[in-house]
Amino acid sequence: MDFESWWLIFMPLLFGLGWLAARFDLRHMLNESRNLPDSYFRGLNFLLNEQPDRAIDAFVEVAKLDPETTELHFALGSLFRRRGEMERAIRVHQSLLSRSDLPARDREHALHEIAQDFLKAGMLDRAEMAYKELQDTAFNEQAVRALVRIYESEHDWPRAIEAVSKLGRLTGEPIAQSVHYHCEMAEIALSSNPPGLDDAMGAIRLAEQAVKSEQTPTSASKARILMILAEIAGRNGDTKAQRKSLLEILSDAPEYASLVAESLEASFQRTGECELLLNRLLEHYRKFPSLDLASVVFRMLHHLHGSQAAWEFMRSALTSHPSLLALDRALGVEAKQDGAVAVSKGEDFSLEPALVHQLVNRHTKRLDRYACRVCGFQARQYYWQCPGCHGWETYPPRRLEELSSLTSP
């Protein structure tokens, strides 16, 4: 490559321009740092020394001295909300919204922040109004998701269905809980006085349509629909339809058989066909063993074939799937029969079932619960929506003892 003599002039010129630019940037930074209030540096110092309370006080002072510090206001509002100081968070974001010169993008951001403040503070009506204003903005999806949560907490299922439908259109994905919203409306109709059986059936038909719209409907949604259909049929005195719906759960949602085993037992008892059901449940238990199902099978065996046959089944079940809770329930059935449980085979010594049941029961109360797989919230009854984290279908249809045995090595 040939050397050009004019490069000797060009290179020093470039060096000089770079030096001037560096001097200008340094001077600009120094001017900015001189303009920053001392409170700003005190706040940084408090943060570095892990003194967040004093740091917040220092930054609040900066915000008072310079109301134009928008980003600082957002940071302070978020800090207050995380600390649970909702009144201070709301005041910070309201001060931003009161500014007439605030850019549209920052105004939407401030409105989103104050909506979160209202929601966390439990001011649901004001949160709803704020989130509705955010629709058709950059925060549209977050606003609709928040509206879904608000309507869920208020048990306003019609508006929840409307909001979740809009969310589905925004994301392009089906929302699984829409099925449960219709089921909730059906259960409300059934619990009314007098029961609104037609309204309940209408809601269930909509729930079935929602299931069909899903690419992979969950077993929980199928099981819940069938359980409500069985209840409606029972209220109408249609035993055949009730039994059909309950039996469909065994095939369509087999892991949820434990939730309907007692209802099946009662239905077949009314028609004197318990032996038929017993064979069906024994077959189902071999494929999908569960604690609740084992308890029902034991009780039916005890009633139909006596104590020995029942205990032979329970011995086999406990050998394959050890469960103190299953043993406790079996002892409870035996205690009602006024029999005796032999402690050692071939020996005369035995204990009264009532006494053994009482001893074992003291240690099984804490195991006789359902637990959310997301937050761990425990409850004695089964929930389709967790009362703790508000997630849908987060409760496995198994007792706490069963879950512990499944996760243990």
Name the binding residues for Fe cation: 372, 375, 386, 389
Task: Say which residue the tokens 């006024």 belong to.
Answer: 338
Say whether 188 sits in a helix, a strand or coil: helix
**Residues whose CB falls within 8 Å of the CB of residue 389, separated by 6 or more in sequence, listed in order:** 372, 374, 375, 377
Taking only Cα atoms into account, the Rg of the chain, rounded to an integer number of angstroms, comes to 33
Per-residue CA distances from 277 to 140, 274, 398 (Å): 52, 5, 21
Between 353-364 and 324-336, two packed helices, what is the crossing angle to 10 degrees? 150
What is the Cα–Cα distance from 173 to 171, expressed in whole angstroms? 5
What is the Cα–Cα distance from 358 to 282, expressed in whole angstroms? 28
Type and span of the H or E element at 29: helix 7-35
Closest CA to 95 of 124, 67, 75, 137: 67
Please report, in range form, the residues annotated as the binding site: 372, 375, 386, 389
What single-letter DSSP state applies at residue 311?
A: H
